[in-house]
């Protein structure tokens, strides 16, 4: 079991930090996902209920399926309001870094974040590498949102979590656990979820808002990907999916449309690694998912400027789609041999 108890050494320091009249800001990672948004907004709502003024910022705009979240309209997204985001970081006394653990994960705001006087880390990724005044790093936690709940609870402030905070935190836990199915889902995860329900989160509405508001184009892109762009290498137990810029353009791609696509590879019998490649901007975005003891974060950290969790990680390559996949297929056998099933 993994959770943050009141006796956690960082709780007292964190209590002092948020108790003092500091200017607070919260930031999540580039290409914010449900957990980055959920933990940042959830913490924001809770801190405001404790009487604090706090700004929530993101390096870029989250996908449409997260824009319904309570508090989203006030989030400062640096792709649309770069100056304002930098100003908030410059003026903040304390910046809470949520759901990431390296300064470069905030993309265009990295330099400004590195100049901040006091950073607090709340995160569940492996290998934190960031200078902080207070750190909560719990790789056993299902999500940063679950950690935020634990921290507020450990502060004795769970009573401040109202329906908006509960909805945001539930969204983060639900999305990062693949709807409570990934291995990091523990009895404690379900207990936290149960308490969030009591605090006003409505699971059916949250699931519908996240999952059932697809555009037709997204569903057709999924169908196209499954029938035309998915290859299974049975000898390697690996599925490879690749979407070119042309594929995406043809299907009226919007950011977030390919969220979760990589998981379809893992749903095939005998597959223990699913690799997803797509052309995005000036780079190839890579997502890997695995089952069991196959640390895809290590493969990406070593070869593709990435990282993440053992079973879910991301990275990138600045070459083209073909060369990126060729390189991946080159390093794959050695990686698999080092981690036999
Ligand atoms: P996804 O494949 O959904 O983009 O990311 C899976 C996990 O890996 C997430 O927890 C995400 O935060 C992390 N991740 C994604 N891209 C990167 C990256 O470029 N660098 C690092 N260090 N982590 C990443
Ligand atoms: Mn997360």
In a mutational test of the pocket of ligand 1, which residue from 40, 308, 312 has the highest number of ligand atoms less than 8 Å from its CB?
A: 308
Averaged pLDDT for residues 242-265: 97
Average pLDDT over residues 89-118: 97
- Average pLDDT (257-271) is 97
- Return the pLDDT at 5: 87
**What's the topology of domain 9-211?**
inorganic pyrophosphatase (n-terminal core) (3.90.1640)
- The C-alpha atoms of residue 249 and residue 133 are separated, in whole angstroms, by 44
The pLDDT score that the predictor gives to residue 2 is 60
**Measured from the CB, is residue 256 less than 6 Å from ligand 1?**
no
Q: What is the structure's pLDDT at 20?
A: 87
Name every residue whose Cβ is closer than 8 Å to that of residue 60 and which is 6 or more positions away in sequence. 30, 31, 32, 77, 78, 79, 107, 108
- Residue with the nearest Cα to atom 24 of ligand 1? 314
Domain coordinates of the chain in residue numbers?
A: 9-211, 216-338
Which is it for the CA torsion 69, 74, 75, 79, positive or negative? positive
**C-alpha angle with apex 156: 155 to 158, nearest 5 degrees?**
105
Give yes or no for residue 225 CB within 6 A of ligand 1.
Answer: no
Which of these, 73, 71, 103, 69, lies nearest to 89 by C-alpha position?
103
| HSE toward the beta carbon, residue 180, CA cutoff 13 A | 13
Report, as an integer, the average pLDDT of 24-36. 97
Q: Is 309 in the pocket of ligand 1 (CB under 6 A)?
A: yes
Residue-level pLDDT at 341: 87
Q: Report how far ligand 2's centroid is from the alpha carbon of 228 (Å).
A: 30
Find the 206 Cα to ligand 2 centroid distance in Å: 17
pLDDT of 22: 85
Kindly state if the Cβ of 313 falls inside 6 Å of ligand 1.
Answer: yes
pLDDT digits (tens, 9 = 90+) for 133-147: 999 999 999 999 999
Q: Kindly list the protein residues that place their beta carbon closer than 5 angstroms to ligand 2, a single-atom ion.
A: 35, 99, 143-144, 176
Per-residue pLDDT of 266-319, as tens digits, reads 999 999 999 999 999 999 999 999 999 999 999 999 999 999 999 999 999 999
- CA–centroid distance, 217 to ligand 2, in Å, is 27
CATH of 216-338, one of 1.10.357.10, 3.30.70.270, 3.40.50.12280, 3.10.310.30: 3.10.310.30
**Beta pairing, strands 76-77 & 134-137:** unpaired
pLDDT at site 1: 45
Nearest residue (CA) to ligand 1, atom 15: 314
Indicate whether residue 308 lines ligand 1 (CB < 6 A): yes
Q: Identical fold at 9-211 and 216-338?
A: no
Instruction: Indicate the average pLDDT of the chain.
Output: 96
Confidence of residue 21 (pLDDT cuts 50, 70, 90): confident
- How big is the CA angle at 144 (ends 328 and 69), to the nearest 5 degrees? 100
Q: Which atom of ligand 1 is nearest to the CA of 33?
A: 3
pLDDT band at 3; cut points 50, 70, 90: confident
- Alpha-carbon torsion, ordered 34, 36, 37, 42, to 10 deg: 110
| Cα distance between residue 203 and residue 188, in whole Å | 17
């Amino acid at each position: 079991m993994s959770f943050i108890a009141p006796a956690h050494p960082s709780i007292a320091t964190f209590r002092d930090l948020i108790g003092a009249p500091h200017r607070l800001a919260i930031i999540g990672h580039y290409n914010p996902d449900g957990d980055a948004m959920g933990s940042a907004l959830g913490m924001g709502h809770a801190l405001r209920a404790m009487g604090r003024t706090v700004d929530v910022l993101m390096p870029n705009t989250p996908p449409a399926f997260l824009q319904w979240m309570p508090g989203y309209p006030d989030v400062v997204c640096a792709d649309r309001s770069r100056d304002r985001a930098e100003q908030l970081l410059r003026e903040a006394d304390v910046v809470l870094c949520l759901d990431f653990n390296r300064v470069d994960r905030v993309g265009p705001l990295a330099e400004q974040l590195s100049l901040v006087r006091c950073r607090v880390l709340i995160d569940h990724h492996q290998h934190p590498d960031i200078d902080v005044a207070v750190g909560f790093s719990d790789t056993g936690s299902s999500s940063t949102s679950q950690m935020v709940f634990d921290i507020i609870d450990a502060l004795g402030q769970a009573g401040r979590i109202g329906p908006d905070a509960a909805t945001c935190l539930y969204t983060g836990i639900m999305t990062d656990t693949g709807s409570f199915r990934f291995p990091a889902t523990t009895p404690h995860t379900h207990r936290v979820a149960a308490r969030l329900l009591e605090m006003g989160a409505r699971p059916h509405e949250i699931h519908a808002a996240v999952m059932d508001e697809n555009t037709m184009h997204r569903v057709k892109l999924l169908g196209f990907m499954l029938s035309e762009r998915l290859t299974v290498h049975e000898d390697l137990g690996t599925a490879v999916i690749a979407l070119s810029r042309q594929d995406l353009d043809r299907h009226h791609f919007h950011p977030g449309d390919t969220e979760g696509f990589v998981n379809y590879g893992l749903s095939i019998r005998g597959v223990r690694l699913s690799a997803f490649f797509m052309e995005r901007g000036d780079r190839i975005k890579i997502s890997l998912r695995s089952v069991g003891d196959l640390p895809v974060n290590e493969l990406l950290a070593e070869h593709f400027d990435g990282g993440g969790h053992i079973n879910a990680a991301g990275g990138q390559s600045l070459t083209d789609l073909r060369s990126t996949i060729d390189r991946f297929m080159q390093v794959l056998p050695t990686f698999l041999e080092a981690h036999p099933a």
